[in-house]
A and B are shown apart, each in its own frame.
Chain A
Amino acid sequence: MSQAENAAIVKRGSKAIRIRHGGSEIFATSVLVFLAAVVIFPLIMPFMFVFKTQLEFSYHPWAWPKAIMWDNFINSWNAVRIDQGLKNTFLVSIGAIIATLPPSALAGYIFARYKSKVTEFAFYAIMVGFFVPAQMVLIPLYKMEVGWKLNDTLYGLFLPMAAFGIPFWSLIYRSFFANLPNELSEAARIDGAGHGGTFFRIMLPLANPATILALILVFIGAWSDYLLSLILLASQKNFTMQLRVASYLTAYGADRMPKYASAAVISAAPTVILYIIGHRWIIKGTLAGAVKE
Chain B
Amino acid sequence: MGMRVSLTMISDGGTYVSDTKIEGKSSGGSGRKRVRDRTRAPFIFLCLLPAFLFLIIFMYYPIEETFRIATTKSSGMGPEEYVGFDNYVKLFGNAEFLASLLHVIQWAFWSVLIQLPIAFLIAFSLTYYANRFTGPLRSIYYLSNVLPSAITAMLGRFIFTPQNGIISNFARAVGWKWLASVDWLGNPELAFWSVFAVATWAYTGFPIIYLMARIEQIPSEVREAAELDGATGWRYAWSIVLPDLKYPLQILAVLATVGSLKLFDLPYILTAGGPGDATKTLAIVLYLQGFVNWNYGTAAAVGVVIFILSLGFTIAQFSLGREKGEGKK
Q: Please report A residues at the B interface, Cβ cutoff 8 Å.
A: 1, 5, 8-9, 12-13, 16, 19, 21, 24-25, 28-29, 31-33, 35-36, 38-40, 42-43, 45-46, 61-62, 99, 102-104, 106-107, 109-110, 112-115, 118-119, 122, 125-144, 159-168, 170-172, 174-175, 178-179, 182, 185-186, 194-196, 199, 217, 220-227, 230-231, 241-243, 245-246, 249-250, 253-255, 257, 260-261, 263-264, 267-268, 271-272, 275, 279-280, 282-283, 286-287, 289-292
Contact residue among A42, A114, A138, A249 (Cβ-Cβ distance under 8 Å from B286) = A138
Closest approach, in angstroms, between the C-beta of B125 and any C-beta of chain A?
5
Knowing that A42-B166, A136-B306, A225-B148 are A-B contacts, what are 20 other residue pairs whose CB atoms are under 8 Å apart, sorted by A's residue number?
A: A28-B125, A133-B307, A137-B65, A138-B287, A138-B291, A139-B296, A178-B23, A178-B27, A182-B29, A220-B2, A220-B146, A242-B148, A246-B154, A254-B165, A261-B158, A283-B209, A287-B210, A290-B210, A290-B213, A291-B213
- Chain B residues with a Cβ closer than 8 Å to the other chain, count: 122
> Is there contact, CB below 8 Å, between A249 and B269?
yes
Does B196 sit at the interface, judged by CB under 8 A?
no
Given A231-B291, A264-B158, A283-B142, check contact A178 B24 (CB 8 Å).
Answer: yes
Quick check: B149 and A292 within 8 Å, CB to CB?
Answer: no
7 A–B pairs (Cβ distance < 8 Å), ordered by A: A16-B220, A104-B51, A130-B13, A135-B282, A246-B154, A253-B157, A271-B147
Report yes or no: B58 in contact with A40, Cβ–Cβ below 8 A: no
Residue from B138, B169, B290 having most chain A Cβ neighbours under 10 A: B169
B290 touches A271 (CB 8 A): no
The distance in angstroms between the C-alpha atoms of A287 and B258, with both chains bound, is 19
Q: Which of B28-47 contact A (CB under 8 A)?
A: 28-31, 39-40, 43-44, 46-47
A-B interface contact total, Cβ < 8 Å: 362
Whether the pair B54, A166 counts as a contact (CB closer than 8 A) is yes
**B311 interface residue (CB < 8 Å to A):** yes
Say yes or no: A144 contacts B48, CB within 8 Å.
no
Complex alpha-carbon distance, A118 and B48, angstroms: 11
Known: A122-B52, A126-B55. A35 touches B290 (CB 8 A): no
Q: Which residues of B contact A (CB under 8 A)?
A: 1-3, 5-6, 8-13, 15-17, 19-20, 23-24, 26-31, 39-40, 43-44, 46-48, 50-55, 57-63, 65-66, 69, 76, 122, 125-126, 128-144, 146-151, 153-159, 161, 163-166, 169-170, 173, 201, 205-206, 209-210, 213-214, 220, 227, 233, 258, 261-262, 264-265, 269, 272, 282-283, 286-287, 290-291, 296, 299-300, 303-304, 306-307, 310-311, 314
Residues of B within 8 A of A35 (CB): 122, 141
- Chain B residues, CB < 8 A from A231: 287, 291
A131 touching B148 in the complex, CB below 8 Å, given contacts A171-B16, A175-B20, A195-B43: no
Select which of A102, A107, A226, A283 is within 8 A of B265 by beta carbon: A226
> A227: which B residues are within 8 A, CB to CB?
3, 264-265, 283, 287
Cβ A138 vs Cβ B303 within 8 A = yes
Cross-chain contact A1 with B261 (CB below 8 angstroms)? no
Taking a contact as CB atoms under 8 Å apart, the answer to whether A164 and B143 are in contact is no
Q: Is the CB of A287 within 8 A of B151?
A: no
Q: How far is the CB of B230 from chain A (nearest CB, A)?
A: 14
Task: Please indicate the chain A residues that have their CB under 8 angstroms from the CB of B144 in the complex.
Answer: 39
With A and B bound together, what is the CA distance between A195 and B65 in angstroms? 37
List, in ascending order, chain A residues with CB within 8 A of B3's CB. 134, 227
Separation of A108 and B121 alpha carbons in the complex (Å): 38
Contacts A287-B210, A292-B16; A115 near B28 (Cβ below 8 A): yes
A171 to chain B, nearest CB (A): 6
In-complex Cβ contact of B23 among A164, A179, A195, A255 (8 A): A179
Instruction: Verify A171–B13 contact, CB threshold 8 A.
Output: yes
A39 and B141 in contact, given A141-B62, A163-B57, A226-B149 (Cβ under 8 angstroms): yes
Contact B55 A29, beta carbon cutoff 8 Å: no
For B143, give its contact among A9, A33, A137, A275 (CB under 8 Å): A275
- Please determine whether A133 and B310 come into contact, CB atoms closer than 8 angstroms: yes
For A144, the closest partner residue in chain B by CB is B62
Q: Which residues of A contact B139 (CB under 8 A)?
A: 279-280, 283
B131 / chain A contacts, CB cutoff of 8 Å: 25, 29
Q: Which 8 A-B pairs have the closest CB atoms?
A: A221-B2, A140-B65, A163-B58, A224-B1, A137-B62, A224-B148, A103-B50, A242-B150
Q: A43-B155, A139-B69, A143-B65 are in contact. Are A159 and B138 (CB under 8 A)?
A: no
Are B122 and A161 in contact, CB atoms less than 8 angstroms apart? no
Given that A25-B131, A287-B213 are contacting pairs, would A133 and B51 also be in contact in the complex, using a CB cutoff of 8 Å? no
Out of A9, A114, A185, which one reaches B40, CB within 8 Å? A114
Find the B residue at minimum CB distance from A167. Answer: B55
Report the minimal beta-carbon distance from B164 to chain A, rounded to whole angstroms.
5
Instruction: Report yes or no: A289 in contact with B264, Cβ–Cβ below 8 A.
Output: no
Contact indicator B47/A254 (Cβ below 8 Å): no
Q: Which chain B positions have C-beta within 8 A of A112? A: 20, 23-24, 27
Query: Which residues of the partner chain A approach B151 to less than 8 Å between Cβ atoms?
Result: 242, 245, 264, 267-268, 271
Q: Is the CB of A168 within 8 A of B149?
A: no
Most buried by A among B2, B128, B290: B2
For the complex, what is the distance from the CA of A221 to the CA of B50, rounded to whole Å? 21
